[in-house]
Amino acid sequence: MPGKSVKAAVRTLQKTRNAARGALLWGYEQRLAREVRTHGKLPAHLGLILDGNRRFARAAGLQRELGHSFGADKAHEVLQWCLELGIPSATIWVLSTDNKGRDPQELAHILGLLEREARQLAVDPRIHNNRVRVRAIGQHDNFPPQVLAALKDLEETTAHYTGMRLNIAVGYGGREEIVDAVRASLRAQAAQGRTLEEVAATFGPADIGAHLYSPDIPDPDFIIRTSGEIRLSGFMLWQSVYSEYYFCDVYWPGFRRVDFLRAMRDFQDRERRFGK
């Protein structure tokens, strides 16, 4: 009996400690939120590299596909956090061109999630109440028809909105975007009757910038990558030349609001110099 009493007391103590930690974390999160809102300086365009879904699942002893499912749910949460702060534009990198070589079953699951999420966003009250314009950027030629249809419907449903701009980078690669922009620029100038020699004589950065996937929103001034990897892996290579970076150790599905707010406060403490 004494042994059981001791175990019960230990469990009670552990619960009390966990509750205390939770209360402290909640209080810290609320203080961070006030500081971020009071400061006022926020990214005009936030880039998010959603990394660590599979490792999250592995660490939790789950099937890797569930990591992607949890990651999709987390993206909905982060969208809400962006809306709460009033961030004007965000680009979330969901699937890279490099990921096309993954296991077919895993890739099919990711594309299925993409279709599901696109259809949910098309009817999400937050999208319509906040007039969020959503666009899928990347190379989608090899996507299944039902996925393409869902993305097209989402884009058309929100095309007239003038609120937050949300880019979903899927089938996306930074090098591929630059190549596509150069091709588009050359074709446009050829259509105007210009020769290759004439184009080469005046070709400059603006010719590429005007034909990127989303030329009508500013370059990302802040990019967050989760999972502890310290690299861009090709994310918005052209646009990120003067971006500020923040690398977070937590896997994407475990990314908390307090992690998000810490990143925002870190951005607010930085002085951007644009290479000067």
Find out if CATH 3.50.50.60 is the number for domain 43-268: no
The pLDDT > 70 percentage for the chain reads: 92
pLDDT tens digits for 114-141? 999 999 999 999 999 999 999 999 999 9
Q: Is 225 helix (H, G, I), strand (E, B) or coil?
A: strand
pLDDT of res. 15: 59
Domain ranges of the chain: 1-39, 43-268
14 band by pLDDT with thresholds 50, 70 and 90: low
Note the pLDDT tens digit of each residue in 20-34: 566 777 899 999 999
Is 52 annotated in a binding site? The answer is yes
The response to whether 270 counts as a known ligand-binding position is no
Residue 276 tokens read as: 């000067």
Per-residue confidence (pLDDT) for residue 5, from 0 to 100: 62
Task: Provide the mean pLDDT of the chain.
Answer: 92
Residues identified as active-site: 51, 99
User: Is 53 marked as a binding-site residue?
Assistant: yes
In this predicted structure, what is the pLDDT of residue 102?
84
Instruction: Give CA separation, 253 vs 71, 77, 120, 155, in Å.
Output: 5, 10, 19, 26
* pTM of the full structure: 0.89
pLDDT of residue 18: 57
Among residues 79, 47, 68, which one has the least CA distance to residue 225? 47
Mean pLDDT of 144-156: 98
Q: Name the pairing type of β-strands 89-96 and 133-137.
A: unpaired
Confidence at 276, pLDDT banded by 50, 70, 90: confident
Whether 65 shows a pLDDT value over 80: the answer reads yes
